[in-house]
Chain A
Amino acid sequence: MKFVFFPLNPYRELPPDFEDRYESVYVTPPNDELCDPARAGQFYNWTLDEYEHAARLGFDGLGINEHHQNAYGYFNSPNLFAAALARTTRDAALVLLGNTLALYQPALRVAEDIAVLDTLSGGRVVAGMPVGTPMDTSFAYGVTPSQVRSRFHEARELILQAWTRPGPFHFNGRFTKLRYVNPWPRPLQRPHPPIWLAGGQSLETFELAAREDYAYNFLNFNGYKFALDTMRIFWETVERHGKDKNPFQGGFFQQIVVADTDAEAERLYLEHIQYFYRKCLHIPPYYFAAPGYTSKRSADFQMRRSPAAAAVREAVREGKWSNYIEHGIVIAGSPDTVADRLAEAIKGLHIGHLMASLQIGSMGHELTLQNLTLFAEKVMPRLRGIWDADGWPDPWWPSGASTAGSA
């Protein structure tokens, strides 16, 4: 079992009445009113310190993502942070999850950045390729919603060719016309860094992962109980393609907070969890409904799943600790409680990579370090060997990273 520390880098100090005063945490929260560059820089530095702390504690990977124009997670360019971490860490995988391909025209720059990072880090890079939310792609970056997926696929094709075909060669795509593709350098890992997809609930993404043998990561804040149904459909897709149900092909994002006791966890973390669900997810529905972003098939699927999502939203709205816990939205408590619940989640979802969200919402630096330490020292050891008896290999792990997590 492998553990990736996956913070979102939220703006940790939004005003208490943020969600009443502003329409959205994404796209339009006014930067001049809400985002103090000095505080933003402080939060970036805290996040980098937290990554380095996690690496020292033995986390297998450091997860970094890309989002734009928001207070929920404002990494913007994950490659910048990976470059810093390539220099200050030695063994951890740098899990880029990732670069939002459809935003870059041509996406050659993404191929170059990842190759640079791979050489710089000694082959520790995971090349995550998320399609990107409608807020990032269509609203913040102006990509036509009906073209997000086509642009993503063309960029993926270009990047794979740039990494694997000897240059120079030409690339005549629908959106990208390049006479000479010949990036220097190519990645250290051969044939290329492992590719992970990050999905909401698009059937197309399940199919792509199953067909191309990419790792699939369900990144969702509704918790593991909600995710059971989604991951079941993913694994059915894998089996339909005649592939092995290797748990290392699956990953899941889970909010986790650990304290000495269950009661202490509530006391320490409740306000920060409320901050995340009330403020950081304060996104109006019309931003998710960018016209043309979702295929007819996936729209049908998501409509069928919407009662379950609505139940979670309702539970979250109240902000009661017991609701977060009972729905599995947050796994929280003493090390024993957390380890038991996580074992249930890992087995139920059938995943070998856990994206452990251990900095949530307004959690400060010291509390985050404490959460990381408790998790690494008291929870991780109990779950390490959970898949060992099955003997699965993990071809989705970068070859230059440590293999403490077995497989």
Chain B
Amino acid sequence: MPVTEQTVSLPGSPLVAKVLAGGTGDPVVYFHGASGNAWTPLHDRLAERFTVYAPWHPGWDTLDDLELFDSLLDLVLYYVDIFDALGLERPDCVGHSFGGMVAAEIAAIRPDRVRRVALIAPWGLWRDDQPVADIWGMPPGRVAELLWHDPRSDVAAASAPAADPEAMLRSYLASSAAAHFVWPIPDRHLDRRLRRITAPTLLVWGQQDRLVPVSYAQDFAARLPDATVRLIDAAAHNVHLEHPGAVAAAIAQHLDAAPVDAAR
């Protein structure tokens, strides 16, 4: 699968966005989680049917860029600018974890710019009885136990952050960007805005997710006007890496369920 990396300038803004793109078909924008952007087997599979765009969250080059973002609204507008720059009128939006929260915010604030939505274990809601885990306040080994159904699996080992300084820095910048928008509790009142998401929304969750417990799937579904929940067994927070085939199939089925213009 040929994948291109492109930079995108935004008119009137000092910010430069960076985007991975591959595949052919209707546009899907994929928003990555706090561990950083990468082209994964899930991207490959989606790219068989769609043109997949995977932008980096801001701050990918320097944390100074985050000074221009005071809230999630600034982030939503950043992505709407990127849609404009890429000529995407009304793409499907897919996001994992923090990226799922971002996709949901875009769909709530600009429902006119999002066709269909798939959220994989998104952040964004908060329950006092089952708090979203603080991945930044625990040792890496414990984080791995929350991310993976089997922390000793090959895919878990292959996804561990590399020890070279360049990779460590990239990983630091990615988690810093996510933390910038959600620290210390990933609740910015998305619960009030989910009702505005007119796009049919698929929620994909790993049954054994201990980072954002699976009970959150029902909390999202209860507030969304049009939601479908798909739970995947033997999977934790990184369900998209543990079961890329099943996740891709569920998303493709959801995105294909209506022709491109049906939602307009």
Complex CA gap A96/B148 in Å reads 47
Given A292-B66, A295-B63, A296-B169, are A146 and B180 neighbors across the interface (CB < 8 Å)? yes
How far, in Å, is A316 (CB) from chain B's closest CB? 20
Chain A 126-146, CB-CB to B under 8 Å as 1, else 0, gives 000000000000110011111
Given A145-B179, A146-B179, A296-B63, are A290 and B165 neighbors across the interface (CB < 8 Å)? no
**In the complex, chain A residues whose CB is within 8 Å of the CB of B198:** none
Specify the chain B residue showing the minimal Cβ separation from A134: B136
**In the complex, chain B residues whose CB is within 8 Å of the CB of A289:** 136, 172
- How many interface residues does chain A have, given as a range? 20 to 34
Given A292-B176, A296-B63, A296-B169, are A286 and B184 neighbors across the interface (CB < 8 Å)? no
Specify the chain A residue showing the minimal Cβ separation from B173: A296
**In the complex, chain B residues whose CB is within 8 Å of the CB of A146:** 59, 63, 66, 176, 179-180
> In this assembly, does B70 line the interface, its C-beta being within 8 Å of a C-beta of chain A?
yes
Complex CA gap A299/B137 in Å reads 19
Query: Is A303 a contact partner of B165 (Cβ separation < 8 A)?
Result: yes
Q: In terms of DSSP, what is the predominant structure of the interface of chain B? A: helix
Q: Which of A121-172 contact B (CB under 8 A)?
A: 138-139, 142-147, 150
**In the complex, chain A residues whose CB is within 8 Å of the CB of B154:** none
Q: Which of A249-295 contact B (CB under 8 A)?
A: 284, 286-287, 289-292, 295
Report the interface size for chain B: residues with CB under 8 A from the other chain: 25
Complex CA gap A21/B262 in Å reads 60
Q: Which of A171-199 contact B (CB under 8 A)?
A: 174
> In this assembly, does B140 line the interface, its C-beta being within 8 Å of a C-beta of chain A?
yes
> In this assembly, does B13 line the interface, its C-beta being within 8 Å of a C-beta of chain A?
no
**In the complex, chain A residues whose CB is within 8 Å of the CB of B184:** 138-139, 142, 144
**In the complex, chain A residues whose CB is within 8 Å of the CB of B177:** 292
Chain B 177-201, CB-CB to A under 8 Å as 1, else 0, gives 1111001110000000000000000
Query: Is A291 a contact partner of B179 (Cβ separation < 8 A)?
Result: yes
Given A286-B140, A296-B169, are A144 and B180 neighbors across the interface (CB < 8 Å)? yes
Given A142-B183, A142-B184, are A291 and B178 neighbors across the interface (CB < 8 Å)? yes
Query: Is B137 a contact partner of A145 (Cβ separation < 8 A)?
Result: no
Query: Is B67 a contact partner of A150 (Cβ separation < 8 A)?
Result: yes
Given A144-B183, A291-B176, A291-B179, are A174 and B70 neighbors across the interface (CB < 8 Å)? yes
**In the complex, chain A residues whose CB is within 8 Å of the CB of B176:** 145-146, 291-292
Given A138-B183, A142-B183, A145-B176, are A291 and B62 neighbors across the interface (CB < 8 Å)? no
Query: Is A291 a contact partner of B175 (Cβ separation < 8 A)?
Result: yes
Query: Is B139 a contact partner of A284 (Cβ separation < 8 A)?
Result: yes
**In the complex, chain A residues whose CB is within 8 Å of the CB of B165:** 303
Which B residues are closer than 8 A to A by beta carbons? 59, 62-64, 66-67, 70, 136-140, 165, 169, 172-173, 175-180, 183-185
5 CB < 8 A contacts A-B? A144-B179, A144-B183, A289-B136, A291-B176, A292-B63
Instruction: Knowing that A292-B179, A299-B172 touch, tell me 11 more A-B residue pairs with CB under 8 angstroms.
Output: A139-B137, A145-B179, A146-B180, A147-B180, A150-B67, A284-B139, A289-B172, A292-B63, A292-B183, A296-B62, A300-B169
